[in-house]
Structure 1
């Protein structure tokens, strides 16, 4: 926060000093753009900080890439609205900076103004949002072998991953028959047990602590600070740090398939494995993770919700803990009666940031004065978790069960965060074992070390599991033995990428439009997908699900000679090959600079063999083809459509100095709008009729939607115009100019003649479903009328001017 304030003070000072001198055009532009960028960075930092309490960190990057499906975003509606409002204000302020006239001080020398102008973007670059996360962002995009590494000269300092990653089958003292029960308490870190900070907050769990083996010094390190990362760290001994490979789990069929996790180990010992959680399994790929690593049943919100007596008893994040733990305890009792060892894992939800969700059964159970909702939820969780643990520990099956209570990660920004940050923040890890005396281990460790503690608690003779270590011995954890542990963990991104076990050599690749899948060898991925190839091998695969950017933006980032297969909506893929139609699913295989490419509509299943992929990797290249394709990609990114045609027209229908920008879309996925110097109108489906006023604005005088059932306009445009001319001749309407615009579709099969007959226009007669259309006309100047229509699902964008008209049609 201090760094942000100092950076902001420097920026404001430089901007103020610059404002007092003469400012040329480039200085004004630099000041304006820098102001918007600086404000946007600051806004982003505060928004991210509201979620994480640490500004922009690894959790932010992970969820930007994997998406927010299943997240309880309703809780953040106010925050999201604030972001939109603040960004709008930032843009307005940037405009003011550009337009502001210099002060009345003596003119400063041009070189002094130049230095101040250059200082503004420099201050943007050293902004905490950039400075603290640029390295993470670089790694997230390009992996460990990146330009950033070379520039900083730190590659030699990287420890070899192989010397620390230990993956071997645990040796068992005897065949393991002990059951395993693990409850992950959402964000319930050990700091909540601090009586100085939270007197009387945790009472019932504290009574159980004397029966547990406690690890009191579990730190949070890179790639372990959010829910799915905490699950991966504690069960696989690995951080979840994203790489250039995709981690959008909605598209992946397997989650870290190349890693060995506790579920895989227990499966070899004939355990049945089960997971129950209150949140949606799709969020961050939790369901995929458990299914990949040996779990027999995986149940989240969608699977458990039908069991609710009251279907409305859900929070924004999912099921309340009293219901979840009741189901969890019931499953434990059921499994205990079966003659097979089992692992039962659960994840609570009530203590989720920012304010928690207190279960209905805790009504009347408040902490202190009851004003802090998060602490009320924690106080309730204390009661619910203690009740569940007591029931499990009192069960006859407890004599043969390892029971674990752990936090999935440290609490993120919540209503109690100011108090939490005053304490010694550590994760919670308690083990209740049938044959171990209660003890507290204070050696430093991480949640990756939890994996070893669980295996040892089940009877395995193991000192290391992946990057996890036995922290019942001093100075064994990577936290204690690896210099700059967070930096080292980040450097191994390329090694983690291999653990996703993506197919390398492509033996068979098929695209299925019915299932919307890409099948590569024995793997199946969800479309849309972008597969990068290297000499016939699969280099990476990316998805668009809730991603930080669209697949065509990834294509834009590729080098011209990079070979890839892109399977997506035809309206997007046709940016690379205009022969493709607008509707349906299409694919493109080749290079942006390649003459030999494959591009077709996929109506059912399209198979590409190894020879096809090799053929598009070679062949002739052309720079002109590359430039054309990249220009269409840029148009797709800006307007949502690929093709661009331009023409220049002059019209006398507008007075000199008047300017009007109009966009007409022939489909529902893009906006149609009208802009003047003082207004911006977004159009609804159908046909809009505007009257252009002498003041330079456009007045909407009629709207017709022929796609709406039982739509029968009371007056046609011709009748409206005739009435205006007759009734207001003295006001000058006889010579007025009118604008007719279609959005989405001018008609859904209904004839246009009854509506538009009598206007000094003709092209509307040929308009069909979802064609864009713009017409500028005057009822008394038929010869001056201007009409523009586009192909189906295309888009028109026109800027009218009294002295110049530029028209662009996009399809």
Structure 2
């Protein structure tokens, strides 16, 4: 009986050992392929970016081709490879069992050592590559920080709205100012937009506008400039069941933070958002509706309105057609505002310059690198919208803020990788128009995206207590308070932005007022 038990134990142990080996091979391949894909499409990202972009992933109007590539490369290929290895090992053992393959003990031991080393190499390579691609080390270091955003967060207090005005907010996808450098690129991609937003006509800009530490994707740019806080999510909110369910639907998005749309809504604004992509991608629609936007128009709306498929790419509607809709929208909003006396906020997010860029029929390619022409064509469409507002007289009572949502991503497969890698002075393109503002006035330079939140509120004509909101101080303020996060030295400020701040985000995601 004992011999049978020992034999059974050995057999069970052998099966469990083999299963563990195959699981390790599969896991190592998944991590390795995922890391290679991340590096190719996005460059180095963060854990927060990874998790928050897995919320409501779409296969249409949200990088569907990339999603399907990911499903095949990460979900199918590792299974096939692991299954193939298992099958080869089974056939090899079967040959030995029937005496058709003779192997010495020394050779068998060498084979086992080689296989063990190979499995270990796959696991180590996959784990290391993935950890590097998503910044796991930085994520762990952030958990050990003593800083907490709640110690610096300021809920905006509006002291006067007598001079509130209409607001148009335009986000330029990957709108990096470096792309205006004619020495690095074939031509100045921003030339069309720069021509209609000159300082001599009264347009202003923040010199050296920086992407915030830890940012670098669209939703991070939106929450930074509209809420004044870094975007962090599931890793710090273990109690939020919706956020912990990958691909699940969430009811609110940073509902405890007071954001741009909330403040504007409280002061009588109608908030409308226009975008070419499916707004449910990364839960953008949930964010907007959680923060005062009453109308969110996206790819689904444009398709229902009869937009032809030639005006739509994988990511969504072309900027040519988006700006045509923006003209119609501002006509309606301005007329309603004139009738009721209640202002509006029209927020627009461009799309054509999202990687991989797509050349629509409206865009003539006159550069060797098609991406340069696409950027120029997109800026020309935005410039056309600005000119339209000027022709209609809307700029007489409407503030306009134009800015990139983040720097151009530095991935192995993206355009301009080599040129941007050679630049040591990268910043975000921006232009600000305030009716009646004196030409030549300057804004505080070298600020990051956190400071755009109070800047936009003040551009809309609202007076803020101490010019503060979130972690930011308005760029219209010449100096900052010593108690502000903006008064910190660069290294501790970067640590503050990267800190997990678990209590702050737990209450913010739970829909409670963020601590201050």
Q: Shorter-chain TM-score category?
A: 0.7 to 0.9
Inter-CA distance 158–125: structure 2 relative to 1 (3 Å threshold): farther
Inter-CA distance 207–450: structure 2 relative to 1 (3 Å threshold): same
- Answer yes or no: is the 8 Å Cα contact 2:35–2:126 preserved in 1: no
Deviations 1:385-433 (A, max 9, x none): 1111122234322122211111122333464142333334322222122
The question of 1:293 aligning with 2:291 is answered yes
Paired residue for 2:97?
none
- Answer yes or no: is the 8 Å Cα contact 2:269–2:343 preserved in 1: yes
Please point out which of 160, 178, 183 is paired with 2:148. Answer: 160
- Answer yes or no: is the 8 Å Cα contact 1:257–1:501 preserved in 2: yes
Deviations 1:212-235 (A, max 9, x none): 322243333356432223222111
Deviations 1:190-213 (A, max 9, x none): 222122221314221232453332
Inter-CA distance 392–87: structure 2 relative to 1 (3 Å threshold): same
Please point out which of 464, 468, 486 is paired with 1:464. Answer: 468
Please point out which of 470, 484, 506 is paired with 1:497. Answer: 506
Paired residue for 2:96?
none
Paired residue for 1:806?
none
Q: Per-residue deviation at 1:32?
A: 6.2
- Answer yes or no: is the 8 Å Cα contact 1:277–1:300 preserved in 2: yes
Please point out which of 292, 299, 303 is paired with 1:305. Answer: 303
Aligned-partner Cα distance in 2 for 1:296–1:456: 22
Deviations 1:467-492 (A, max 9, x none): 22234546863785561625643411
- Equivalent residue of 1:380, what SS? helix
Q: Which runs of 5+ in 1 are unaligned?
A: 1-23, 140-147, 505-811
Inter-CA distance 397–80: structure 2 relative to 1 (3 Å threshold): same
Please point out which of 159, 165, 175 is paired with 1:178. Answer: 165
- Equivalent residue of 1:303, what SS? helix
Q: Per-residue deviation at 1:165?
A: 0.7
Inter-CA distance 197–107: structure 2 relative to 1 (3 Å threshold): same
Aligned-partner Cα distance in 2 for 1:428–1:442: 15
Paired residue for 1:48?
38
Deviations 1:224-258 (A, max 9, x none): 43222322211111222113223379633333222
Inter-CA distance 344–254: structure 2 relative to 1 (3 Å threshold): same
Q: Which has the higher helix share?
A: 2
Deviations 1:476-511 (A, max 9, x none): 63785561625643411441121134589xxxxxxx
Please point out which of 182, 186, 204 is paired with 1:199. Answer: 186
Q: Which has the higher strand share?
A: 1
Question: What TM-score do you get using the length of structure 2 for normalisation?
Answer: 0.76
- Answer yes or no: is the 8 Å Cα contact 2:25–2:119 preserved in 1: no
Aligned-partner Cα distance in 2 for 1:103–1:227: 60
Q: Per-residue deviation at 1:315?
A: 1.8
1:9-88 pair list within 5 angstroms: 34-54=24-44, 57-68=47-58, 70-76=60-66, 77=68, 80-83=71-74, 86-88=77-79
Q: Per-residue deviation at 1:451?
A: 0.5
Task: Give the aligned length.
Answer: 462
Aligned-partner Cα distance in 1 for 2:326–2:422: 34
Paired residue for 1:666?
none
Paired residue for 2:433?
432
- Answer yes or no: is the 8 Å Cα contact 2:56–2:249 preserved in 1: no
Aligned-partner Cα distance in 2 for 1:501–1:359: 42
Moved more, 228-237 or 194-203: 194-203
1:311-710 pair list within 5 angstroms: 313-337=311-335, 338=338, 339-354=341-356, 356-362=357-363, 365-369=364-368, 372-412=369-409, 413=411, 415-418=414-417, 419-423=419-423, 424-434=425-435, 435-438=437-440, 443-459=445-461, 460-461=463-464, 462-471=466-475, 473=478, 477=486, 480-481=489-490, 483=492, 485=494, 488-502=497-511
- Equivalent residue of 1:181, what SS? strand
Aligned-partner Cα distance in 2 for 1:132–1:73: 20
Aligned-partner Cα distance in 1 for 2:302–2:123: 53
Inter-CA distance 133–54: structure 2 relative to 1 (3 Å threshold): closer
Q: Per-residue deviation at 1:114?
A: 12
Inter-CA distance 455–374: structure 2 relative to 1 (3 Å threshold): same
- Answer yes or no: is the 8 Å Cα contact 1:262–1:451 preserved in 2: yes
- Answer yes or no: is the 8 Å Cα contact 1:70–1:283 preserved in 2: no
- Answer yes or no: is the 8 Å Cα contact 1:70–1:282 preserved in 2: no
- Answer yes or no: is the 8 Å Cα contact 2:279–2:285 preserved in 1: yes
Aligned-partner Cα distance in 2 for 1:87–1:279: 31
- Equivalent residue of 1:491, what SS? coil
- Answer yes or no: is the 8 Å Cα contact 1:238–1:448 preserved in 2: yes
- Which structure is higher in RCO with an 8 Å CA cutoff and minimum separation 6? 2
Q: Which runs of 5+ in 2 are unaligned?
A: 1-13, 94-102
Q: Per-residue deviation at 1:166?
A: 0.9
- Answer yes or no: is the 8 Å Cα contact 1:358–1:380 preserved in 2: no
Question: What TM-score do you get using the length of structure 1 for normalisation?
Answer: 0.50
- Answer yes or no: is the 8 Å Cα contact 1:214–1:429 preserved in 2: yes
1:226-305 pair list within 5 angstroms: 226-243=217-234, 244=238, 245=240, 246-247=242-243, 251-305=249-303
- Answer yes or no: is the 8 Å Cα contact 1:234–1:447 preserved in 2: yes
Paired residue for 1:15?
none
Q: Which has the larger radius of gyration?
A: 1
Deviations 1:593-652 (A, max 9, x none): xxxxxxxxxxxxxxxxxxxxxxxxxxxxxxxxxxxxxxxxxxxxxxxxxxxxxxxxxxxx
Q: Per-residue deviation at 1:122?
A: 7.8
Q: Per-residue deviation at 1:93?
A: 7.1
Q: Per-residue deviation at 1:351?
A: 1.3
- Answer yes or no: is the 8 Å Cα contact 2:32–2:127 preserved in 1: no
Aligned-partner Cα distance in 2 for 1:450–1:315: 31
Aligned-partner Cα distance in 2 for 1:119–1:311: 49
Paired residue for 2:129?
128
- Answer yes or no: is the 8 Å Cα contact 2:270–2:293 preserved in 1: yes
- Equivalent residue of 1:41, what SS? helix
Aligned-partner Cα distance in 1 for 2:253–2:397: 31
The question of 1:190 aligning with 2:177 is answered yes
Q: Per-residue deviation at 1:309?
A: 5.8
Aligned-partner Cα distance in 1 for 2:488–2:60: 33
Q: Per-residue deviation at 1:80?
A: 5.0
Inter-CA distance 479–188: structure 2 relative to 1 (3 Å threshold): farther
Deviations 1:127-175 (A, max 9, x none): 13135647489x7xxxxxxxx67xx9x64x4113332111131333x51
Paired residue for 1:610?
none
Aligned-partner Cα distance in 2 for 1:103–1:394: 88
